Amino acid sequence: MMVDGAVYGWCFAHRHDRVRGYPGCSSTVTLWRRGGSGRLRLVFRPEHDRVIADGYFDEGAAIRLPDRAYLNLYEPGSVRALLEEAVADGVWPDAGTVEVDGWPLFDAVTPLDLPNVL
């Protein structure tokens, strides 16, 4: 995909990782810029109010439960929104691989939309 004149590649992975001390699963989007040496890995782990695909939802699903905001991490439009936000936030690495929590970027591209409750 192309963003601001630069060409980026990306891939999606889902894994169960007991080796790193996390007993559950995670979904990961890894992004790289053509000709660059930096890689950005966005990691989505389930939390009390957030879920990812693990047999129940479609593969690639990332969902914020309070308002049911949804992104499919397989979809280029979802990945592009996350990439643009990561670049705007300055989390893109100049070199090496940087792993970050993907949920703050998710929140930035899908603003919380809950009805006012008085």
pTM, two decimals, is 0.86
Cα of 114 vs its chain's centroid, Å: 22
User: Which two three-digit tokens encode residue 67?
Assistant: 């308002």
pLDDT in tens, 72-117: 999 999 999 999 999 999 999 989 999 999 999 999 999 876 554 4
pLDDT in tens, 40-61: 999 999 998 999 986 667 889 9
Per-position DSSP letters for 25-62, written without gaps between them: EEEEEEEEETT-EEEEEEEE--BTTEEE-SSSSPTTEE
Q: How many CB atoms lie within 10 A of CB 83?
A: 24
Domain ranges of the chain: 2-109
Separation between Cα atoms, residue 99 and residue 79, nearest integer Å: 16
